[in-house]
Each structure stands twice: as C-alpha cells, then as structure tokens.
Amino acid sequence: MGIQFENVSVRFGDAQVLRDINLVLTEKRVGVIGNNGSGKSTLARLINGLVLPTTGRVDVDHLDTRTHGLEVRKRVGFVFQNPDAQIVMPTVAEDAAFGPRAHGLSAAEAAAAAEKALAQFGLTSLKDRAAFTLSGGEKQALALAGVVATQPEWIVFDEPTTMLDRKRAKMAVSTIAGLAQNVIVVTHHVELLAGFDRVIVLDAGRVVCDDSPTNAIAHYVETLT
C-alpha cells in the first residue's frame, strides 16, 4: 500500500515537466522541494489524478489514477495554494460538507462530518458565515477542514504557506504536524519540513535527491539556491 510512481513522465505541449519519476511513498510525512518550475506542483497533482502521466503510471493503494480517479480522490485529499480557489460553496458549513456529499454521503452524514472537521480547526463559530468574507488564515483552515471532512488517508498540500504571513504560516506548520493522516507537502519553504520522514528534491523535472530532511535540504540549499 502507498503511492507508487512508475516511470512517470509528464509533458504539457512542448514542455517536459517531469521525467522518469520512480518513487514509492509510504512514509507518514513526505516533503517535496524544488525551485519554481521544477515540477513539484505537477508531481503533487499526479497523486490524486488532477494531472495524468503522459507516460508511466501512478498508483494509490494499487489503484491507477488514470482509471480509478474517483476512488483515488477519496483516498487523497488536496489542499491548494490559494484557498479562494478551493472554496466552492457559499457558507462555511456548506463548503465543509461539499466534499463528503460529493463522495456520496447523505446530507445528514455530510453535515456531521463537516461539523466535526470545523470543530477540529476552530471554525464552529463561523459555520454560518459567507465563506468569501473569511480572513486569509480562516480560508486556509476552511480549505483544510473541507478536505479532512472527507477522511482521506493522504493529504497533499501544494505550497501551503506561500500566501500566509509568518504567524499564520507557523500555525499552518503546527496544524499539518498534528494531522492524523499521511501528509505530502510540496513547498520551497524548507523550514516547513522539520520532523518529516523523507524529503524529495526536484530539479528540471527530475528527482535529484531523495533522503532524510537534513540531507535533502542541505543538498537543495547547496546546489539549487
């Protein structure tokens, strides 16, 4: 079980974004770092089938993302860099219940799942607020609550701290650290990866280092920044 990349390459038009990726991810905390344009966001999107490989295959718990998209997305939640793009329903409670509803839960079950997730992230008092009126940090929390409400096994974060101030970024780090789910964090903020089990460094679409956080971050800092 876990996430497996087998000879994965991705090409968008003339641009080769990822080349020959072979990875098996089973650790609880995995970081992916690299400069802009290194392919890390594409790698993240491959995991829940938002992007499909041009060649090769990506499996989540032995389910091919190409043929089992819905089942894969039940297992893998995705938190986008910009929470505004992730919030799709008018109110906080309705948005948190959207994922569970989309995954087939009844309205009552989805509402219960949403309520639990909102409580986990301190959003209960805001449940009837218009989602677009929340602050940046509250929107980020709602985006995460909406994903957690679907009870995925894995949560992929794409640049979770890029749009946050230092205080909110610190809160995001501790929130991610406290999650029960397996977590994959794509970032170029290396301090986010303290305590992770494994860090993968990407450059020009290739894995150039796959090691412990200490070694991988040292490699990234020395050779790519």
Partner 1 sequence: MSLGVYQPGDSVIHRASPGLKLTALAAYAVGLSIVSATLSIVLLAAIGAAAWLSAGFTAQRLAMNLRPMLWILLALFGFQCVAAGAVVAAHTALTLMALVTGAALVSHTTRTDDMLECLTMALSPFARLGVKPENAAFALVFTVRLVPFVSSVGREAIQARVARGAGRNHFTALVPMVIRLMRETDALSEALVARGFGRT
Report yes or no: 53 and 10 within 8 Å, Cβ to Cβ.
Answer: yes
Compare residues 108 and 222 and give the one whose CB is closer to partner 1: 108
Of how many residues is the chain composed? 225
Compare residues 70 and 177 and give the one whose CB is closer to partner 1: 70
Side chain identity, residue 217: I
| 78 Cβ contact list (under 8 Å, min separation 6) | 44, 45, 47, 48, 50, 147, 155, 156, 158
Question: How far apart are CB 175 and partner 1 at their closest, in Å?
Answer: 19
Per-residue 3-state assignment (H helix, E strand, C coil) for 74-136: HHEEEECCCHHHCCCCCEHHHHHHHHHHHCCCCHHHHHHHHHHHHHHCCCHHHCCCEHHHCCH
Question: How far apart are CB 15 and partner 1 at their closest, in Å?
Answer: 17
Compare residues 39 and 213 and give the one whose CB is closer to partner 1: 39
Backbone phi, then psi, for 164, in 5-degree steps?
-110, 150
| 133 Cβ contact list (under 8 Å, min separation 6) | none
Backbone phi, then psi, for 17, in 5-degree steps?
-90, -40
**CA–CA distance, 3 with 224 (Å, rounded to integer):** 26
Compare residues 9 and 91 and give the one whose CB is closer to partner 1: 91
- Residues binding partner 1 (CB under 8 A): 48, 50, 69-70, 73-74, 77-78, 80, 82, 84-86, 88-91, 94, 97-99, 101-103, 107, 128, 130, 132-133, 146-147, 150
Question: How far apart are CB 193 and partner 1 at their closest, in Å?
Answer: 23
Question: How far apart are CB 70 and partner 1 at their closest, in Å?
Answer: 6
Cβ–Cβ contacts within 10 Å for residue 73, how many? 21
Compare residues 138 and 203 and give the one whose CB is closer to partner 1: 138
Question: How far apart are CB 110 and partner 1 at their closest, in Å?
Answer: 8
Question: How far apart are CB 109 and partner 1 at their closest, in Å?
Answer: 12
Compare residues 46 and 207 and give the one whose CB is closer to partner 1: 46
Report yes or no: 16 and 170 within 8 Å, Cβ to Cβ.
Answer: no
